[in-house]
Structure 1
Amino acid sequence: MAVQVTRADVLGSRVRAHQLDRTAGTLADTGVLDLGVQDTGAEAARWALAVRGLDDVPAGDLALVWTLRGAPHVYRRADLLGVVAATAPFSEADAAKRVFDGARPLRAAGTPVLTALDTMASAMREIVAAPTVKGEMSRRLTERMDAPYLRACRPCNAVHVYEQTFRLAALRAGLELQPGTSPPVLQPVPGLVPVTEVPAHLDVVRGYLRLHGPATPQQVAAYLDAPVRDVRAHWPDDAVEVQVDGKPRWALAADADRLGAGPARTTRLLGPFDPYLQTRDRALLVPDPAHAADLWRTLGRPGAVLVDGEVAGTWRPRKAGRRLTVQVDPWRDVPAAALAAEAERLAAVRGTELAGLAVGG
């Protein structure tokens, strides 16, 4: 019979899995780096690591690459060989789903999407012998690629390669992104070659279950942009069923005991794309539809105020010169002293001076 757990059990378990209740850690033991930390926004990845107790990581120990969902993610540099294999599409159908509308012209031309990714990666590898701005890279790549790889882009009023195909081919080409560059600058990763074996700690299905479980195959597939069939084919043998408020979900067997550990007491300011907020079980994390719509906006997404596992409001940075004000819009009572300490840390990470914490109004 499946173990019965509550929403509160799940939130407590996830906070601990995300290590949001700790004050110090190391690069090696920071679990979110196994799945990658999305670096969207000012100092996003650096702040996500800081709220997990990981400060002052030497820049050379981390690498920034386009991986899951075509988004920029930070990983341990020592893991990059394994990341190439771990984040690659599971199948031809998976590759087609991940490149979205870029798959249709390739299929019409009889070119498998996996072959197209390798073809584009080969061209990218030849082009980028030194740091290259994305726009220049795209222009030179467009000159080399055949029609099925190209699209007429109305916003740009130009023809260029499909964006997702471009992004997903970059790591296959052995290219990383220079942190802090806008527009992005790509550069070769010395000695990075394709590998086929996925290290156990980098397995993306296990990684999602470890950080966001209990979960369903559909939720994992949504996170990866992969077909549910492929996720089921890679489902861990040690995943066990649990009932979350009467609904079937799955967790890794080794994590099942953590579900009964109770709430995790912590207050954090999470960035808009923090790993904790990347769950595809949004209704469990934020049951109120209006609050969910406010938190996960398509444009201008705010950060989340996390209090003991619950999202208790949103926050935004207001910067004037080198002074930073943190504006908090609470959904319920929030611990002002703890938030003030978090705001001080945020200002330090961003290299600014905290002008104040404004709660409400």
Structure 2
Amino acid sequence: MGWREANARRLARQHLRTPAPDVSPADVVGTVLGAHAQVLSAAELSVGLRGKGLTRTDVRTALWAEDPARRTLVKTFGPRGTVHLLPAAELPLWTGALSAVPTGPNPFATGARMTPEQVEEVVAAIGEALTGAELTVDELSDEVVARTGPWAGDLVVPGFQQMWPRWRQVLHLAGHRGALAYAPNRGRRATYTNPGCTPLPGPEAQAALAERYLYAYGPATPAHFARWLAAPRQWAAGLFASLAGSGAIEEVAFEGVGPAWVVAGDTDFPAEPVRGVRLLPYFDAFTIASYPRERLFPGRASERALSPTGQAGNHPVLLVGGEVAGVWHQRRSGRRIAVTVEPLEGRGALPGARLRELEKEVERVGAVMEGRAELTVGVVRVGPHA
């Protein structure tokens, strides 16, 4: 399998070659395997750009509809323990898979750690406190401490320029167990609730998630899958071996990688080259989950658009012909959205035809974000997102 053919198929399946008609925000989020929502406006743009006519209001309605029964998206802790939008209907699969992923070494200082028994006690307390309630983190903290003991409230976890109570170190785990998800903000403060989710059995859910990852981002290796999940490589290798043994996936030769895997029988790739330009926001699923990185971020793109450790997503990127060829930034003031695009030398030169394509793409950004976008081609001076 060649790199360009594999990349073209990924782009098509991500609705990035052509925005999909008649899709809902939940359809899009399911296709890309979660929309990273550390920056919620970026998640709205990621989803909106993939569906014809979708806007940020559509995403917000799917997430925060006044009638909970109409909420088809959930904001919770997803892959890598980071905040994602996930389809509400798929929450049992995600929680079943993520809650069963082996954890690595405990990153907290010895005096800050919790025993396995304390972890279970806190997760149960979180689920109980949030059942039928929407609580801020401070309100939830009071409830957890009241249900467990003063030890859970010890300020021993490093936070943003402050120390957080001990129980906060398992907040993401409660999300992975299906005991916690975000609720609508109360003013400017985030709130949490219990989504009432029963996770699927771990082996079943993990097998399904691995197959869906390979459908969306294959060919891929166990190491790619492990990095996407922030999971141990040895565990991922064992999962792939089990799937191969059952005939669910098959091995292929992938250019620049070597042996890799696809869903069994899923070996058709488009012959047409990728053309045109696309703008992808912070932490877009395509840039984070696609490997090998050195092919998606060729030349100067690896220096300009990746972190020193090779992490993707910290910069919004310009795709030209399906590969990263620049970075960009947007600044909003009322309805006006000032978009600055910085093409990278050699890869991102913008002749007249390509500039017109970029202008249309900027118009799409404005439409999704319900504003009036204006393009400037120049140097992006904003640093990477943390």
TM-score past 0.5 threshold? yes
Provide the residue aligned with 2:384 in structure 1: none
Provide the residue aligned with 2:296 in structure 1: 285
Provide the residue aligned with 1:222 in structure 2: 227
- Using the size of structure 2 for normalisation, the TM-score is 0.77
| CA deviation vs aligned residue, 1:189-215 (integer Å, no higher than 9, x gap) | 2x4234326777983322332222222
Which of 77, 83, 95 matches 1:84?
Answer: 95
Determine helix, strand or coil for the equivalent of 1:178.
strand
- Please tell me whether residue 314 in structure 1 is matched to residue 310 in structure 2: no
Extract unaligned runs of 5+ from structure 1: none
CA gap 1:105/1:159 in 2 versus in 1, 3 angstroms = same
Determine helix, strand or coil for the equivalent of 1:184.
strand
Extract unaligned runs of 5+ from structure 2: 63-70, 380-386
Provide the residue aligned with 1:359 in structure 2: 377
| CA deviation vs aligned residue, 1:43-99 (integer Å, no higher than 9, x gap) | 222211222125235422211111211111112212222222122233xxx1345xx
Instruction: Quote the Cα distance in structure 2 between the aligned partners of 1:233 and 1:253.
Output: 17
Provide the residue aligned with 2:140 in structure 1: 137
* Offset at residue 231 of structure 1 (A): 1.0
CA gap 1:42/1:67 in 2 versus in 1, 3 angstroms = closer
* Higher RCO (Cα < 8 Å, 6 or more apart): 1
The amino acid that maps onto 2:349 is D
* Offset at residue 239 of structure 1 (A): 2.6
CA gap 1:194/1:211 in 2 versus in 1, 3 angstroms = closer
Instruction: Quote the Cα distance in structure 1 between the aligned partners of 2:38 and 2:168.
Output: 17
Say what the alpha-carbon RMSD is for the aligned residues. 3.2
Determine helix, strand or coil for the equivalent of 2:80.
helix
The amino acid that maps onto 1:306 is L
Determine helix, strand or coil for the equivalent of 2:201.
coil
Q: Count residues with an aligned counterpart.
A: 344
**Contact 1:217 1:231 (8 Å CA) reproduced:** yes
Determine helix, strand or coil for the equivalent of 2:267.
helix
**Contact 1:81 1:192 (8 Å CA) reproduced:** yes
- Please tell me whether residue 340 in structure 1 is matched to residue 351 in structure 2: no
The amino acid that maps onto 1:346 is V
The amino acid that maps onto 2:191 is V
5 Å matches for 1:160-179? 160-161=165-166, 163-178=168-183
Determine helix, strand or coil for the equivalent of 2:340.
strand
Instruction: Quote the Cα distance in structure 1 between the aligned partners of 2:230 and 2:194.
Output: 26
5 Å matches for 1:1-361? 5-23=1-19, 24-27=21-24, 30=28, 32-33=30-31, 35-53=33-51, 55=54, 56=58, 58-59=61-62, 60-90=71-101, 94-96=102-104, 100-102=106-108, 111-112=115-116, 117-128=119-130, 129-138=132-141, 140-141=143-144, 144=148, 147=151, 151-153=156-158, 156-161=161-166, 163-178=168-183, 183-189=189-195, 191-196=196-201, 203-235=208-240, 236-237=243-244, 238-245=249-256, 247-258=258-269, 261-279=271-289, 281-288=292-299, 290-297=300-307, 301-331=314-344, 332-334=348-350, 335-354=354-373, 356-361=374-379
Identity %: 26
Instruction: Quote the Cα distance in structure 2 between the aligned partners of 1:179 and 1:153.
Output: 26
Q: Which deviates further from its counterpart, 141-150 or 32-41?
A: 141-150
Instruction: Quote the Cα distance in structure 2 between the aligned partners of 1:188 and 1:149.
Output: 21
The amino acid that maps onto 2:42 is A
* Offset at residue 273 of structure 1 (A): 0.7
| CA deviation vs aligned residue, 1:218-259 (integer Å, no higher than 9, x gap) | 12111111111211222132232213136332222333212x
Determine helix, strand or coil for the equivalent of 1:95.
coil
* Offset at residue 147 of structure 1 (A): 4.8
- Using the size of structure 1 for normalisation, the TM-score is 0.82
Determine helix, strand or coil for the equivalent of 2:38.
coil
CA gap 1:246/1:216 in 2 versus in 1, 3 angstroms = closer
Determine helix, strand or coil for the equivalent of 2:266.
helix
CA gap 1:329/1:282 in 2 versus in 1, 3 angstroms = same
Q: Which deviates further from its counterpart, 200-209 or 75-84?
A: 200-209
Instruction: Quote the Cα distance in structure 2 between the aligned partners of 1:171 and 1:148.
Output: 20
* Offset at residue 136 of structure 1 (A): 3.3
Q: Which deviates further from its counterpart, 297-306 or 140-149?
A: 140-149
Instruction: Quote the Cα distance in structure 1 between the aligned partners of 2:231 and 2:150.
Output: 26
Instruction: Quote the Cα distance in structure 1 between the aligned partners of 2:253 and 2:22.
Output: 30
CA gap 1:82/1:305 in 2 versus in 1, 3 angstroms = same
CA gap 1:254/1:200 in 2 versus in 1, 3 angstroms = farther
CA gap 1:282/1:34 in 2 versus in 1, 3 angstroms = closer
**Contact 1:33 1:76 (8 Å CA) reproduced:** no
The amino acid that maps onto 2:323 is E
**Contact 2:32 2:216 (8 Å CA) reproduced:** no
**Contact 2:100 2:202 (8 Å CA) reproduced:** no
**Contact 1:315 1:329 (8 Å CA) reproduced:** yes
Q: Which deviates further from its counterpart, 322-331 or 166-175?
A: 166-175
The amino acid that maps onto 1:359 is V
Determine helix, strand or coil for the equivalent of 1:263.
coil
The amino acid that maps onto 1:184 is A
